[in-house]
């Protein structure tokens, strides 16, 4: 049984819907309002962040997310579960966001925006943290304080979560979209490249810079706490 | 020679498994003898884990109300 599932996943892009999603779908079709709200709350923050790659302002991105959910509701009867529920919802989001971007006459493709953001030689840590010249050129001039001996509750605190979310908000928009899909939502790299239409190499540079910025935000938060 | 700045630049290629065996070996040789780079590598991994645990459920109240109304209407009409 397990083997059949694995081979059907590997052999086809039209993967059958997972049992957990099947349950949610049944609840939605049943009119279960709580299930609907859980789904909306679970996905909307990331959807808003990704929509912001397409459209100019947060308020517009929120409208796009709202329109997406309305289309999800209208489409529930017709949804044939040929793709996963998650994929279906995110494709609707992309369609709504692209349409809105066209209306706003934002005609630069995301692939170009990604290439632009991935250009330059920013390695994700400020050059002044390394020796500039001499025998130690390129080596850390400041230490890197390990996090392993920190109490776990500091790393899991809601303040740290807030600092991370704030860091995501301040990222350039393609970096924000990539790190949201890769690390917050856990998508594999290939799916992210396909979804956003960006080259794999650029996806990795954007992911690197975004992760480095998130690391720096955690570092700042931890340093503030020890002062 | 691999510098600490090289490690910082390449850490995502390393974590994503996008290095040749030779690049990987040079990367690991540096990290093995460089405590700050070892900390940096661990921090980048912790960052990814923490991002994966973010569970924000902040939806504008107007939006939730509006969607819930639409959901109820849909249910009533079907």
Q: Measure B15 CA to nearest chain A CA, in Å.
A: 10
Confidence of residue A18 (pLDDT cuts 50, 70, 90): confident
pTM of this structure: 0.90
Provide the ipTM.
0.93
Separation of CA A45 from chain center: 10
Sorted by where each begins, the domain ranges of chain B are 4-77
Task: For the beta carbon of residue A174, count every other beta carbon within 10 angstroms.
Answer: 26
Domain covering B4-77 in this structure, CATH number: 1.10.10
Which residues, at least 6 apart from A197, have a Cβ–Cβ distance to it below 8 Å? A109, A110, A111
Q: Measure A22 CA to nearest chain B CA, in Å.
A: 18
* Rounded CA separation A178/A198 (Å): 10
CA-based torsion, B69, B72, B77, B78: positive or negative: positive
Residue of A nearest to B76 (CA): A31
Among B34, B53, B54, most A C-beta atoms within 10 A, so best to mutate, is B54
Q: Is A4 helix (H, G, I), strand (E, B) or coil?
A: helix
Task: Tell me the mean pLDDT per 10 residues along chain B, length 78.
Answer: 96 97 97 97 96 85 92 90
A31: Cα within 13 Å, side-chain hemisphere: 9
Q: Measure A102 CA to nearest chain B CA, in Å.
A: 23
- Concatenating the DSSP letter of every residue in A64-75 gives HHHHHHHHHHHH
CA A181, A184, A188 angle in degrees (round to 5)? 45
For A176-225, the pLDDT digits (tens) are 999 999 999 999 999 999 999 999 999 999 999 999 999 999 999 998 86
Contact A219 B66 (CB under 8 A): no
Q: What is the pLDDT of residue A105?
A: 81
* Rounded CA separation A199/A181 (Å): 15
Q: Is B21 helix (H, G, I), strand (E, B) or coil?
A: helix
Instruction: Strands of A45-186 (E only): list them.
Output: none
Q: Which of A62, A60, A45, A66 is nearest to A169 (CA)?
A: A45
Q: Which domains does chain A have, with CATH numbers?
A: 21-103 (1.10.1740.10), 144-226 (1.10.10.10)
Which residues, at least 6 apart from A2, have a Cβ–Cβ distance to it below 8 Å? none
For residues B56, B61, B64, B68, the Cα torsion angle rounded to the nearest 10 degrees is 140
Contact B50 A160 (CB under 8 A): yes
Backbone angles phi, psi at A137, to 5 degrees: -55, 130
* Radius of gyration for chain A, computed over Cα atoms and rounded to the nearest angstrom: 21
- Concatenating the DSSP letter of every residue in A113-139 gives HHHHHH-S---SS-GGGB--SSTTTTS
pLDDT above 50 (res A10): no
């Amino acid at each position: 049984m397990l083997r059949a599932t694995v081979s059907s996943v590997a052999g086809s892009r039209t993967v059958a819907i997972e049992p957990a999603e099947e349950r949610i779908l049944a609840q939605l079709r049943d009119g279960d309002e709580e299930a609907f709200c859980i789904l909306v709350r679970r996905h909307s923050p990331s959807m808003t962040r990704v929509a912001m790659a397409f459209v100019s302002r947060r308020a517009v991105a929120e409208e796009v997310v709202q329109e997406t959910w309305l289309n999800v509701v209208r489409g529930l009867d017709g949804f044939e579960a040929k793709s996963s529920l998650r994929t279906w919802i995110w494709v609707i989001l992309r369609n709504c966001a692209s349409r809105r971007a066209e209306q706003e006459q934002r005609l630069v493709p995301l692939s170009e925006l990604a290439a632009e953001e991935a250009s330059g030689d920013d390695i994700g840590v400020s050059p002044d943290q390394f020796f500039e010249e001499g025998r130690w050129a390129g080596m850390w001039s400041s230490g890197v304080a390990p996090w392993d001996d920190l109490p776990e509750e500091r790393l899991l605190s809601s303040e740290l979560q807030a600092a991370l979310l704030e860091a995501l908000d301040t990222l350039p928009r393609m970096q924000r979209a990539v790190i949201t899909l890769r690390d917050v939502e856990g998508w594999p790299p290939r799916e992210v490249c396909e979804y956003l239409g960006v080259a794999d190499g650029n996806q990795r540079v954007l992911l690197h810079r975004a992760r480095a910025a998130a690391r720096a935000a955690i570092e700042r938060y931890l340093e503030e706490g020890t002062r | 020679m691999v510098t600490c700045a090289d490690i910082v630049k390449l850490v995502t290629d390393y974590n994503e498994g996008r290095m040749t065996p030779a690049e990987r070996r040079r990367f690991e040789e540096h990290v093995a003898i460089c405590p700050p780079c070892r900390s940096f590598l661990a921090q980048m991994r912790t960052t990814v884990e923490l991002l994966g645990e973010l569970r924000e459920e902040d939806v504008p109240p107007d939006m939730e109300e509006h969607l819930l109304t639409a959901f109820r209407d849909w249910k009533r009409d079907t």
